[in-house]
Amino acid sequence: MDVLPLLLLVAGSAAVAGAARRTPVPAPLLIVAVALLISYVPGVPAYELDPDVVLPLVLPPLLYTAATDSSYLDLRAQLRPVALLSVGYVLFATLVVGWAAYLLVPGLPLPAALVLGAVVAPPDAVAATAVARRVGLPSRITTILQGESLVNDATAITAYKVALAAAVGEGATWAGGVREFLLAAVGGVVVGLVLMIPIHWLRTHMNEALLQNTLSLLIPFVAYGIAEQFNASGVLAVVVVALYLGHRSWEVDFATRLQEEAVWKMVAFVLESAVFALIGLQLPVVLKGLGAYAGASAAWYALALFLVVVATRFVWVFPATFLPRILSARIREREDNPTWKGPFIIGWAGMRGVVSLAIAFSIPLTVHGGDAFPERNLILFLTFTTVIGTLVVQGLTLPPLIRLLKLPGRDIQAETLAEANAQAQASRAAEGRLDELLADERNALPPPLAERLRTVMERRRNAVWERLGAVNPVTGETADDTYRRLSREMIGTERDVFVKLRDHRYIDDEMLRTLLRRLDLEEAAAYREAA
**461/442 same-domain check:** yes
**253/131 same-domain check:** yes
Q: Band of the pLDDT at 274, cuts 50, 70, 90?
A: confident
Asked if residue 297 lies in contact with residue 96, where contact means CB atoms within 8 angstroms, the answer is no
Cβ neighbors of 280 (< 8 A, separation 6 or more) are: 31, 32, 33, 34, 35, 36, 38, 39, 388
Q: Which residue has the higher pLDDT, 4 or 11?
A: 11
3-state secondary structure of 136: coil
State the Cα–Cα distance between residues 31 and 65, nearest whole angstrom.
21
Beta bridge partners of 372: 366
How much is the pLDDT for 197?
A: 94
**405/417 same-domain check:** no
Q: Is 192 left (phi over 0), alpha (psi -120 to 50) or beta?
A: alpha
Domain termination residue (choose one: 391, 410, 429): 410
Q: What is the mean pLDDT of residues 405-431?
A: 76
**403/521 same-domain check:** no
Q: Band of the pLDDT at 522, cuts 50, 70, 90?
A: confident
pLDDT digits (tens, 9 = 90+) for 157-215: 888 988 888 888 765 566 777 788 888 889 999 999 999 999 999 998 887 888 888 99
Beta bridge partners of 366: 372
Best-predicted range by mean pLDDT among 401-410, 413-422, 435-444? 435-444
41-55, 140-154, 493-507: which has the minimum mean pLDDT? 41-55
State the Cα–Cα distance between residues 235 and 64, nearest whole angstrom.
9
Q: CA 79 → CA 47, 93, 150, 196, distances in Å?
A: 39, 20, 12, 20
Domain termination residue (choose one: 410, 431, 460): 410
How much is the pLDDT for 528?
A: 58
How much is the pLDDT for 530?
A: 45
Q: Would you say residue 89 has pLDDT above 70?
A: yes
Q: Would you say residue 22 has pLDDT above 90?
A: no
Interior CA angle at 215 toward 195 and 358, to 5°?
A: 75
**366/511 same-domain check:** no
Q: What is the mean pLDDT of residues 332-339?
A: 82
**136/169 same-domain check:** yes
Q: What is the mean pLDDT of residues 274-288?
A: 82
How much is the pLDDT for 303?
A: 95
How much is the pLDDT for 132?
A: 61
State the Cα–Cα distance between residues 19 and 37, nearest whole angstrom.
16
Interior CA angle at 185 toward 182 and 186, to 5°?
A: 80
Number of domains in the chain: 3
The CATH number of whichever domain residue 147 belongs to comes to: 1.20.1530.20
CB atoms within 10 A of CB 60: 23
Q: Would you say residue 467 has pLDDT above 70?
A: no
CB atoms within 10 A of CB 266: 11
**406/436 same-domain check:** no
- Written as one letter, the residue type at 208 is E
**386/482 same-domain check:** no
Q: Band of the pLDDT at 305, cuts 50, 70, 90?
A: very high
**363/439 same-domain check:** no
How much is the pLDDT for 329?
A: 84
3-state secondary structure of 289: coil
Main-chain dihedrals φ then ψ at residue 207, nearest 5 degrees: -95, -10
State the Cα–Cα distance between residues 436 and 455, nearest whole angstrom.
17
State the Cα–Cα distance between residues 245 and 67, nearest whole angstrom.
9
- In eight-state DSSP terms, residue 105 is S
Asked if residue 149 lies in contact with residue 175, where contact means CB atoms within 8 angstroms, the answer is no
Q: Band of the pLDDT at 139, cuts 50, 70, 90?
A: confident
Asked if residue 34 lies in contact with residue 8, where contact means CB atoms within 8 angstroms, the answer is no
Please give the model's pTM, rounded to 2 decimal places. 0.83
Asked if residue 96 lies in contact with residue 312, where contact means CB atoms within 8 angstroms, the answer is yes
**350/453 same-domain check:** no
**442/516 same-domain check:** no
How much is the pLDDT for 219?
A: 96
Give the rounded distance of the alpha carbon of 148 from its chain centre: 11
Cβ neighbors of 368 (< 8 A, separation 6 or more) are: 168, 169, 170
Q: Would you say residue 369 has pLDDT above 60?
A: yes
- In the predicted model, what is the mean pLDDT of the chain? 84
Asked if residue 82 lies in contact with residue 74, where contact means CB atoms within 8 angstroms, the answer is no
Percent pLDDT > 90 in the chain is 26
How much is the pLDDT for 134?
A: 65
How much is the pLDDT for 485?
A: 81
Main-chain dihedrals φ then ψ at residue 84, nearest 5 degrees: -65, -35
How much is the pLDDT for 422?
A: 80
**297/353 same-domain check:** yes
Parent domain of 465: 411-469
Cβ neighbors of 41 (< 8 A, separation 6 or more) are: none
245-259, 301-315, 333-347, 458-472: which has the minimum mean pLDDT? 458-472
- Closest CA relative to residue 377, chosen from 283, 279, 282, 291: 291
HEC-encoded secondary structure of 1-27: CCHHHHHHHHHHHHHHHHHHCCCCCCH
State the Cα–Cα distance between residues 154 and 165, nearest whole angstrom.
17
- Closest CA relative to residue 25, chosen from 134, 112, 102, 104: 134
In 282-295, alpha helices (H) = 283-288
Domain termination residue (choose one: 451, 469, 487): 469
